[in-house]
Copies of this chain bind each other. A is one copy, B any other.
């Protein structure tokens, strides 16, 4: 961060606003979009200070600002706001953290889609869906570039071995294909996804619900350090902010909006990952889910999501990429082995079914058993002999032994699975 950037008024105003108001606040977002961050800060401070009563600022918002100024020991004034912003800037510099704002080239513009689902009223969670005011970033790569080709892998903290295994595998394979894996840094699926991506030599982003210097949970500290070195830590909360419960749900909207789509790997019926998928659907992102055993409570949430219209079932990185990638990035379809019936015409297949493995039948017997005419049988059987499926003798026709038929013994006489 150079001195010019430090003195940028937009950056300082956004820093102050992000320190004074919880992320996602629609009232503030609208004001900033209407008159810009500097004027928005001035207006908000004037109302909070009591100098202006007829501004478009609610009591709730101005009350918040007063409370935060008091807690930070700064006056409720423009000067107080500048003090807060300068402190935040110094702190970011000290921590080696970048502050990224919409005016920057590396701003991930995709998160601005949140404006479409931002609304007044509803629960705190529904209300707090406005785009971030600014982001704290620590790690490598420009935020917009890193998120350009990204999917989110999200899911249960109490993941099973299956969920951890699947998350790590998917993340690894996405990373190998140069897709960024975004998650929330939590235990279970999140941590497995970050680790899988790092082990695949790829990019991973942890979007935090606390200050960037307080990644949660503490037990994942070494993982967060590795992400900061090889990937990217992101937060819209100022340093030192605690991981309040409600912040995780507010944070989820950034995971949904910042990526091309979320994949839920394992989730209970009630789960934050499901909320992320819901947000993604509202934003026209591709919601995806990995299925699991229906007897596992940790897959119930995935299956509920897969019963929602529009959620796609995915089992491999290729299938994920097929859903979110550009046209042409198609997943290969798994296929079984090729069997005689695949290469035979209908008549040949019917005849082959009527040929026995150990006893010869005449062409007439085979015709009657297969339900075709004698002429067709006499015409078709030599072709089956030529193809190596059937052996002819003076007593008639029987199946060729397995080693010359290139198929499992007796397969022609057995029903398919």
Contact = CB atoms under 8 A, between A and B. Distances in A.
A416 B70 contact: no
A272 B414 CA distance: 12
Total copies of the chain = 2
- Residues of A contacting B: mostly: helix
A335 interface: yes
Given A67-B367, A307-B313, 7 more contacts: A67-B364, A67-B373, A244-B370, A245-B341, A267-B417, A291-B291, A304-B333
A127 to B, nearest CB: 6
Contact of A364 (B71, B123, B367, B377): B71
Interface string A283-323: 00000001111110001100110110000110110010000
A374 B313 contact: no
Given A67-B373, A376-B60, A294 B249 contact: no
Contact of A186 (B122, B123, B415): B415
B124 A350 contact: yes
A235 interface: no
Interface stretch (A87-95, A154-162, A219-227): A154-162
A59 interface: yes
Interface string A93-121: 00000000000000000000000000000
A191 to B, nearest CB: 13
Nearest to A337: B270
A307 B303 contact: no
Contacts of A156: 417
Contact of A165 (B123, B127, B273, B295): B295
16 contacts: A60-B372, A67-B367, A70-B374, A123-B345, A127-B346, A157-B417, A166-B295, A243-B415, A244-B369, A245-B415, A270-B417, A271-B416, A290-B294, A291-B299, A292-B294, A306-B306
A336 B270 contact: yes
A354 B124 contact: no
Contact of A371 (B22, B70, B158, B269): B22
B293 A60 contact: no
* Chain A interface category by residue count: 35 or more
Interface in A341-363: 341, 345-347, 349-350, 353-354
Given A67-B364, A124-B346, A315-B303, A59 B375 contact: yes
Contacts of A334: 269, 300, 304
Contact of A273 (B71, B304, B333, B417): B417
A68 interface: yes
A288 to B, nearest CB: 11
